[in-house]
């Protein structure tokens, strides 16, 4: 019958076929019986519409992003992050294993990450997993509150290295729901005063104080009856935009690359309950006079 098939008692039998996954070390056998498992482990891009979500990095020269691959533009990088979060939400991961070939390629050929992520240190926000990324895909910077208002040198300097030396075209500031840093900052800015004003501040207290501007903005956006938790939930979004603005204020290199169109700075919010990333765009929405209840549901606890 051709095509590796044979008929017996009206049953079509398809013979196994050997393929090599991108970045893989050895051939694997594909058959109808093991295809679902292989789809889960290797993300074979041919079944159930998964082709549209297949990551570019897995089609790279070495099966992982290195300096041998052509550069992406900002929109391509953003689209890869969106596809990765969709894979994460659907449970169809393409990057569950890292081969020795991939590790050796990254070591010998150098990194070429598609995006820099400035995220929170919260343990409930596993950035690589949220975007279904593999080593070499993302350049990740994290601190409590995904901010550069109190750590301009380390965060901004590292971002400059990423876009200047590694030629990364996208910077994503990633906040998340239930952020304890913003809850603490809201308590400091709006809650009852505690302790002596003469006592020496800890570094954590200094960090929370530095997050005051986005909290104050959230206060202006919320109704007067808003609770501290409701204010903190709105402040999470405000803080993303404040960090985006701070990056540009503190870095001439970033400003120049953004002006040239070589780099974009985007914002996003990760919902720790649903796993979904809401992409906010490159700048603040025009209408921010009042905020409804969409952001007010988030209880603030943890970092």
SS3 of the chain: the string is: CCCCEEEECCEEEECCEEECCCCCCCCEEECCCCHHHHHHHHCCCCCCCHHHHCCHHHHCCCCCCECCCCCCCHHHHHHHHHHHHHHHHHCCCCCCCCCHHHHHHHHHHCECCCEEEEEECCCCCCHHHHCCCCCCCEEEEEECCCCCCCCHHHHHHHHHHHHHCCCCCEEEEEEECCCHHHHHHHHHHHCCCCCCCCCCCCHHHHHHHHCHHHHHHHHHHCCCCCCHHHHHHHHHHHHHHHHHHHHHHHCHHHHHHHHHCCCEEEEEEECCCCCCEEEEECCCCCCCCCCCHHHCCCCCCCC
Is residue 266's pLDDT more than 50?
yes
Residue in 69, 129, 139 with CA at minimum distance from that of residue 105: 69
Residues 6+ apart with CB under 8 A from 276: 85, 89, 270
Report domain extents, the chain.
Answer: 20-193+203-295
Residue 37: alpha-carbon gap to chain centroid: 27
- Token output for 145: 């509150």
Contact present, 236 and 120 (Cβ < 8 Å): no
Q: What is the pLDDT of residues 60-110, one digit of tens each?
A: 788 899 999 998 999 999 999 999 999 999 998 887 788 899 999 999 999
Question: To the nearest whole number, what is the mean pLDDT of the chain?
Answer: 81
Question: Partners of 5 in the beta sheet?
Answer: 14
pLDDT computed for residue 14 by the predictor: 47
Provide the pLDDT confidence category of residue 49 given band limits of 50, 70 and 90.
low
pLDDT computed for residue 5 by the predictor: 43
Average pLDDT over residues 150-177: 91
Is residue 215's pLDDT more than 80?
yes
Is residue 293's pLDDT more than 70?
no
Q: What is the pLDDT of residues 115-146, one digit of tens each?
A: 999 999 999 999 999 999 999 999 999 999 99
Contact present, 125 and 181 (Cβ < 8 Å): no
Is residue 302's pLDDT more than 80?
no
pLDDT computed for residue 219 by the predictor: 94
pLDDT computed for residue 201 by the predictor: 83
pLDDT computed for residue 177 by the predictor: 97
pLDDT computed for residue 10 by the predictor: 44
Average pLDDT over residues 274-283: 93
Task: Tell me how crowded residue 55 is: count the other CB atoms within 10 A of its CB.
Answer: 23
Contact present, 231 and 219 (Cβ < 8 Å): yes
Topology of domain 20-193+203-295 in CATH is Beta-carbonic Anhydrase; Chain A (3.40.1050)
- Token output for 197: 């004003």
Average pLDDT over residues 162-177: 97
Q: What is the pLDDT of residues 176-206, one digit of tens each?
A: 999 999 999 999 988 886 655 557 889 898 8
Average pLDDT over residues 40-65: 65
pTM of the model: 0.77
């Amino acid at each position: 019958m051709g095509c590796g098939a044979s008929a017996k008692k009206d049953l079509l039998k398809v013979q196994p076929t050997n393929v090599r996954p991108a970045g893989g070390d050895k051939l694997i056998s594909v058959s109808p019986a093991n295809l679902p498992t292989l789809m889960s482990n290797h993300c074979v891009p041919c079944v159930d519409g998964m082709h549209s979500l297949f990551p570019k990095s897995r089609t790279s020269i070495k099966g992982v992003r290195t300096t041998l691959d052509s550069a992406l533009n900002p929109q391509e990088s953003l689209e890869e992050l969106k596809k990765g979060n969709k894979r994460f939400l659907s449970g169809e991961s393409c990057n569950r294993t890292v081969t020795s070939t991939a590790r050796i390629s990254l070591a010998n050929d150098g990194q070429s990450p598609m995006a820099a992520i400035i995220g929170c240190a919260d343990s409930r926000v596993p950035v690589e997993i949220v975007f279904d990324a593999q080593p070499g895909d993302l350049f990740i910077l994290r601190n409590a509150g995904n901010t550069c208002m109190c750590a301009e040198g380390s965060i901004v300097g590292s971002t400059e290295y990423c876009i200047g030396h590694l030629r990364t075209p996208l910077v994503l500031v990633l906040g998340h729901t239930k952020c304890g840093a913003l809850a603490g900052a809201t308590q400091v800015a709006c809650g009852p005063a505690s302790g002596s004003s003469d006592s020496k501040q800890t570094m954590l207290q200094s960090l929370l104080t530095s997050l005051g501007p986005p909290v104050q903005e959230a206060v202006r956006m919320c109704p007067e009856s808003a609770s501290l938790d409701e204010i903190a939930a709105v402040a999470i979004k405000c803080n993303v935009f404040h960090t985006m603005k701070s990056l540009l204020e503190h870095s001439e290199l970033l400003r120049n690359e953004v002006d040239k169109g070589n780099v974009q700075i985007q914002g996003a919010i990760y919902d720790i309950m649903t796993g979904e990333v809401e992409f906010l765009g490159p700048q603040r929405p025009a209408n921010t006079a009042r905020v409804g209840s969409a952001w007010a549901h988030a209880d603030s606890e943890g970092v």
